[in-house]
Structure 1
């Protein structure tokens, strides 16, 4: 490892100690800090058009804020966002817009979420510096200061008419640390700037393989970690050849100006190529620990519907610790996970002001709870007021309070509101489906690549259709029968409706190899960032549905 790399990590760990103390203090005084955050947001935006319309300057307390500002959804902001895209100032906020975060659109249309420098800053210290500190404190005995790999990009999707960048929240954040990337991650900046997802992933793998002292693997979602290993398994012979000979496969779609630079950085490493070839020939179970003797952990978001990927990642990694560090959305960094090896998040009271709608609440009479009013075991929808111009905004996430960390609620993500199968009031959530799939996979020994679902009302009674890409030769009717039984167990309401014949048995449609790769390519063409690629668990897009049907076996 280089002196600069070690120095940077030592600096981050030291700074992380300060952020950790700040985190502890805020979780002790969570309500007071959340009210201070709200006052700060109102004050900063009081002279914006939105602030003037809602009389921000005269709001003295939370009661008045609730009276003057209604609960909102994205439809309430579109006209404001369009003005901001045209370059108009002081619309939702008085601060300049740094970029618009483009949401993935897995639950409906894609949204442009305004993001300011202040909005980035309040969450960055947690996502970067506190993450490093927590990992160091929990994994001190195995710790080393080697580089890691970060599966991300810094590609702008496009620009608004006034020249404001449009990108994923992750890509926007990456630009702010562009200068230090060469010292902490193995992938050259050119790889992160490439447009072709598959080629970029190949090169991420190649440059990680070149570094025998790799310390960790990181990606926004665990699905990208699984893609990393699967492409490695599929392309291992090409990777060995390129590392040994200092070449770059001609089939890679690399921008000409990047290919020249990357060729210079990929000078021949014949000894390393021989070592990794030997490990690949031994098979891919536990390959990560065999390729990189110093590797310590994987950092990525998992849990919820992402849990379907966990077992396969564990197979490749040799059960490396997986740390799901933060619960973040385009709108805000909502929570941090202080516990390596556990998936739950402590609500942050200074990144935004949060309200919580009890899920049993009627749409005609919505009430919200503050951070100090939540009950353990209860389920809530999150409402955000942030530093970038969203006020009492329903982000669509539903969480469960599982405890308290000091005086701040500890939450578990459950599902997105629009990611719900509900044909007969059974309310089948992502969590129900994920657990049923996990059990089905274990019973039938399935290797599930990915899946998506839809409600089918073309038959009576209605039923769920599961589109599944698997690496097995199992019959679809056997999978459907087992999955149906398991879903009856994970969602008792579904079981009751199945017993009463108000819902029909699940239908499984098996898909050809690489079908979901085609879906991902389509989503990227639509403007979804590679960083935010999430297969929609419920199909809302007609083109995706058409693609799945055309690729059925």
Structure 2
């Protein structure tokens, strides 16, 4: 396997038969995402290979038994996509099942379809004709039992995009034509199969839902049969739980099913519907060889984040020797060839399933904001911000995103938090301004929930008052676009909790609308 550097991979096989089998056994799914495999052709560069067509198996039900043959079913399947293979349920004159399986090649853009129209086909049996209505996929009331994305932030970004562009989407559905706003060729090609005819009724239904003053519970209205939301809600993603609960009106449980990275799968959540604060992952020992580096004094202290490039073998603990309540950095050796690779995740042992350890994800190890000898981790910052943002709730406002950086341009230096705030109860143009005292209290609340070392340095004047800079709506989307344009994968993107990029800092500061400082010193005995 070779990384081609264009969001693509080149797979090489020892012989043609094995390569053909992999292609024929598709489609393939990797960590919840479709893997589009296309054969490479001689005299063609990797940039010329098209990935907009994907093979799928489709079940066709409801065909009358007396017209149930390959020829008639092929007519139906041809309305969906290019037919690759039709399986005949009749074997030696016996009916093995009451439906057909057809393998088709379909434009990948159809996966974006919300509620497809039914397609019409006419099949023949002698002098008789039948009009069959076969859904391309199940009707709206039977679809979308699961909503989700890899990270919670990506799902909220999709909701934000819909909130800002639903009028344009409805116009496209109503007219049956894709707006000129969409310029990407592959996207237009894929969506051309979705917008095959005008859908005024569907457009009216979506308009009725999306034009409400508040989008509280909008997910349940758009997808009334949805049962749960599947996404990562641990670590820094935990801050998005209130926003997801707002858009689902608290009616859809949040399921965090697994713990994984680009290196390998680490564990699964055997209680997927547990409260987000109680999510724990049971290690999958067959995914690789797992070792653990105790943090602090044999794993009892979380705050000792001193980095060592080479970890002495005698400090590593294997899977069966971890201790309940201790903190560790995970180290893995994988089948793909990584040897004692430090992932950079901090975990805490919270229990055992039989003899298999269960871990709670705490934070990324290398996220630290510091002015002097203080060291504020991602977990510390998240806990303090979680308490402070509750002060916004009486104002019908939500903190949807934040990041930080240590401002040392002046003496003493101080912590700066960038906050993007969503006003839930009214349209943006009629939102009430937040009271200055509330934002100042947010500043001091954050400080009083940071550790003792920070508060001591604040009281001695070594660190200045914490500052919250409120930014415009959409600022963190612009920040994501900045990092993606610099090569970050959109599927793996996560907000940096401590900004170190000068370009990112410049963008954030250009979006600041107002600033607030802590009005007093934090209490030492808090």
Give the TM bin, normalised by the shorter chain: 0.5 to 0.7
Contact 2:388–2:446 (CA under 8 A) maintained in structure 1: yes
1:489 aligns with 2:449: yes
Using CA pairs under 8 Å that are at least 6 residues apart, name the structure with larger relative contact order, 1 or 2.
Answer: 1
1:520 aligns with 2:480: yes
1:349 aligns with 2:309: no
Structure 1 window deviating more from structure 2 (280-289 vs 308-317): it is 280-289
- Give 5+ residue unaligned stretches, structure 2: 14-21, 23-27, 38-43, 60-105, 117-136, 298-305, 424-432, 514-526
1:226 aligns with 2:156: yes
1:506 aligns with 2:466: yes
Instruction: After superposition, give the CA deviation of every residue in 1:400-451 in whole Å (9 maximum; x if it has no partner).
Output: 1111122111111111122112334433222222222222222123322322
- Identify the match of residue 539 of structure 1 among 481, 485, 499: 499
User: Take 2:11 and 2:452, find their aligned partners in 1: how far apart are those partners?
Assistant: 41
Contact 1:99–1:165 (CA under 8 A) maintained in structure 2: no
Q: Match of 1:284?
A: 215
User: Take 1:116 and 1:535, find their aligned partners in 2: how far apart are those partners?
Assistant: 35
- Identify the match of residue 261 of structure 2 among 329, 332, 357: 329
SS at match of 2:192: helix
Contact 2:220–2:226 (CA under 8 A) maintained in structure 1: yes
Contact 1:98–1:165 (CA under 8 A) maintained in structure 2: no
1:244 aligns with 2:174: yes
SS at match of 2:177: coil
Deviation at 1:537, TM superposition (A): 1.0
Instruction: After superposition, give the CA deviation of every residue in 1:200-222 in whole Å (9 maximum; x if it has no partner).
Output: xxx56687998443211120100
Q: Match of 2:193?
A: 264
SS at match of 1:459: coil
Q: Select the structure that is richer in helix.
A: 1
SS at match of 1:432: helix
C-alpha change, 1:305 and 1:260, in structure 2 (3 Å) is closer
SS at match of 1:372: helix
- Identify the match of residue 346 of structure 2 among 398, 410, 421: 398
User: Take 1:102 and 1:423, find their aligned partners in 2: how far apart are those partners?
Assistant: 39
User: Take 1:344 and 1:423, find their aligned partners in 2: how far apart are those partners?
Assistant: 33
Q: Match of 2:401?
A: 450
Q: Match of 2:417?
A: 466
1:383 aligns with 2:315: no
Question: 1:18-57, aligned counterparts within 5 Å?
Answer: none
Deviation at 1:348, TM superposition (A): 1.4
Q: Match of 1:37?
A: none
Contact 1:218–1:299 (CA under 8 A) maintained in structure 2: yes
1:409 aligns with 2:357: yes
Question: 1:301-380, aligned counterparts within 5 Å?
Answer: 301-319=232-250, 320-342=252-274, 343-360=279-296, 366=312, 367-380=315-328
Contact 2:107–2:189 (CA under 8 A) maintained in structure 1: no
Contact 2:110–2:193 (CA under 8 A) maintained in structure 1: no
C-alpha change, 1:549 and 1:500, in structure 2 (3 Å) is same
Deviation at 1:370, TM superposition (A): 0.6
SS at match of 2:472: coil
Q: Match of 1:217?
A: 147
C-alpha change, 1:480 and 1:383, in structure 2 (3 Å) is farther
- Looking at CA atoms only, which structure, 1 or 2, has the larger radius of gyration? 2
SS at match of 1:447: strand
Instruction: After superposition, give the CA deviation of every residue in 1:463-486 in whole Å (9 maximum; x if it has no partner).
Output: 211122223533677525423323
Q: Select the structure that is richer in strand.
A: 2
SS at match of 1:397: strand
TM-score under structure 1 length normalisation? 0.63
Question: 1:132-281, aligned counterparts within 5 Å?
Answer: 179-180=55-56, 190-191=108-109, 211-212=140-141, 213-255=143-185, 257-266=186-195, 267-281=197-211
Instruction: After superposition, give the CA deviation of every residue in 1:241-280 in whole Å (9 maximum; x if it has no partner).
Output: 222221222212321x541441232233332222222222
User: Take 1:226 and 1:209, find their aligned partners in 2: how far apart are those partners?
Assistant: 25
Instruction: After superposition, give the CA deviation of every residue in 1:82-139 in whole Å (9 maximum; x if it has no partner).
Output: xxxxxxxxxxxxxxx2547999xxxxxxxx999999xxx9xxxxx979x9xxxxxxxx
TM-score under structure 2 length normalisation? 0.66
SS at match of 1:505: coil
Q: Match of 1:8?
A: none
C-alpha change, 1:303 and 1:292, in structure 2 (3 Å) is same
Residue-pair matches, total = 393
Deviation at 1:349, TM superposition (A): 0.7
Contact 1:347–1:408 (CA under 8 A) maintained in structure 2: yes
SS at match of 2:317: coil
User: Take 1:326 and 1:301, find their aligned partners in 2: how far apart are those partners?
Assistant: 8
User: Take 2:231 and 2:169, find their aligned partners in 1: how far apart are those partners?
Assistant: 24
SS at match of 1:299: strand
Contact 2:2–2:9 (CA under 8 A) maintained in structure 1: no
Contact 1:384–1:393 (CA under 8 A) maintained in structure 2: yes
Deviation at 1:290, TM superposition (A): 1.7
1:421 aligns with 2:357: no
User: Take 1:102 and 1:426, find their aligned partners in 2: how far apart are those partners?
Assistant: 41
